[in-house]
A and B are shown apart, each in its own frame.
Chain A
Amino acid sequence: MSNNILAITVGAILVNNFVLSKILGICPFLGVSKKLETALGMSGAVIFVMTLSSLVMALIDKYVLSQTFMLAGTVIKLRFLEILIFIVVIAALVQVVEIILQKFSPPLYKALGIFLPLITTNCAVLGAAELNVKAGRGIIESTIFGTCSAIGFALALILFSSLRERLDLAKVPAPFQGTAIALITAGILAMVFMGFSGLV
């Protein structure tokens, strides 16, 4: 069990990094990586949402999607509605959490700010839930995988935003300025993370 958890942790953060090796969650990776400060806010929100959604999606998987129901005399399995259920429930879940946060923890609500509603339908969040189902992980393992994937996302985002802050001061040839050099940097960063492959 503990061995398995270690494999999940290292695997999700470094080897199969969500952004740099699975290419999930590219939109916020490029969108909110211009400043380290916003990247930190986004990272916090992603870790929070992915942990929560992985837990709830694992529960839904176990108690709804894996069960058979009887409706008008026919046996129905809801497995084919997996993606639809996941994305809608995640979106609703984040909304509810946001409302509750605003009431009970204004500082946390302020810190997460705009990023919380921004990632309700992020593919990294959905991807974590989907990958958990595919790998057949249990509830605890799913939650750990969700958290570690989000930490991996945060790691990539923080590294990349720091690089971009430095890039702003570098002399870049005119055709490569802006997004072009950012994408090249992201590619090199992804190649660096390839060095971790085979670790798990």
Chain B
Amino acid sequence: MMIIITAALFATVLGALLALVIGATARAFAVETDTRVETITEMLPGVNCGGCGYAGCADFAKAVVEGRTIPSQCPVSTSVHITRIAEYLGITAGEKEKVFAVIHCGGSCTVTVRSPYNGVGDCRSAALVAGGAKGCDFGCIGFASCARACPFDAIEMRDGLAVVHPELCVGCGKCVDTCPKNLITLAPAAVDVHVYCSSPEKGPVKLKVCKAACIACRKCVKAADSETQMTVNGFLVATNYSNPPLPDLVEKAACPTKALRLATKHAAGAYEGVSK
């Protein structure tokens, strides 16, 4: 009997003592935290995509509270949410140009295959083995590394070609670094006309391996309203994003290989079959 009472007594005393010690330490070493950070973290999307340049939503909330950045730097939040955060803090939301990812390749992986590849199903692994199995050395190799990196499921794999859906893409840029061929760039969301080719090789060489290649015929350059709207770089034409052409350029230029495309139509599948 004595032993039970002793045990119970000792356990109670020990528990109380430790509780006291923990309570006293918590009081003595309390760290003051800004409650606004937590509130703003809850107002943010919580996908931790890193598109704002900070390590996740909580870090971004902290930066906003400390005035190191502005609420609109979050590429995911809608303007309603951003205004709400700005109102909560009593600051101006600011403005940020919306961007989205463009994968500059329009030739599906079935076009020409140099050799079968049976390795790890990842673009970066495939690119290590002689640059991947695709006939074109500069095209999408179709193992969906970018699609897996996308927190918003905005990249669809279609016939072995990665296609960005502009309406889903928020422009966080997570996919950009995953592409071993550096095909992905962030373009202003307002621009719809893009050249879906990244190969710097000469026209005939490109055509041998891909029917959707840009052969630098300059039809689009001539058809554009001003000469600076499309820029020619060697054997490759690209949209000048600081002076973008209007969407009707695609029709006016009548690109013979259909490398010049509208991003929205490309995502909708309007150019399928061209690449085959």
Tell me the A residues contacting B by CB distance below 8 Å.
71, 74, 76, 78, 80-81, 84-85, 88-89, 92, 95-96, 99-100, 102-104, 169
Contact = CB atoms under 8 A, between A and B. Distances in A.
Interface stretch (B1-9, B76-84, B146-154): B1-9
Interface of B: 2-3, 6-7, 10-11, 14-15, 18, 21-22, 25-26, 29-31, 120
B31 A81 contact: no
A84 B10 CA distance: 10
Contacts, number: 37
A85 B120 contact: no
Contact of B26 (A81, A84, A89, A99): A99
B7 A103 contact: no
A89 B18 contact: yes
Contacts of B2: 74
21 contacts: A71-B6, A74-B2, A76-B6, A78-B10, A81-B7, A81-B10, A84-B11, A88-B14, A88-B15, A88-B18, A92-B22, A96-B21, A99-B25, A99-B26, A99-B29, A100-B25, A102-B29, A103-B29, A103-B31, A104-B29, A169-B120
A92 B21 contact: yes
B6 A95 contact: no
Given A88-B14, A92-B18, 14 more contacts: A71-B6, A74-B2, A78-B10, A80-B3, A88-B15, A88-B18, A89-B14, A96-B21, A96-B22, A99-B22, A99-B25, A99-B29, A100-B29, A103-B30
Main secondary structure of the interface of B (DSSP, over half): helix
The 5 closest A-B pairs by CB, nearest first: A92-B18, A103-B29, A96-B25, A99-B25, A99-B29
Contacts of A84: 11
Nearest to A101: B29
A80 B7 contact: yes
B66 to A, nearest CB: 15
Contacts of B18: 88-89, 92
Given A96-B22, A96-B25, A102 B11 contact: no
A96 B30 CA distance: 11
B11 to A, nearest CB: 6
Given A74-B2, A95-B22, A96-B25, A102 B7 contact: no
A90 B6 CA distance: 21
A95 B24 CA distance: 12
Contacts of B120: 169
Contacts of B21: 92, 96
A30 to B, nearest CB: 25
B11 A81 contact: yes
B140 to A, nearest CB: 22
Contacts of B14: 85, 88-89
Contacts of A96: 21-22, 25
Contacts of A99: 22, 25-26, 29
Contacts of A71: 6
A76 B7 CA distance: 10
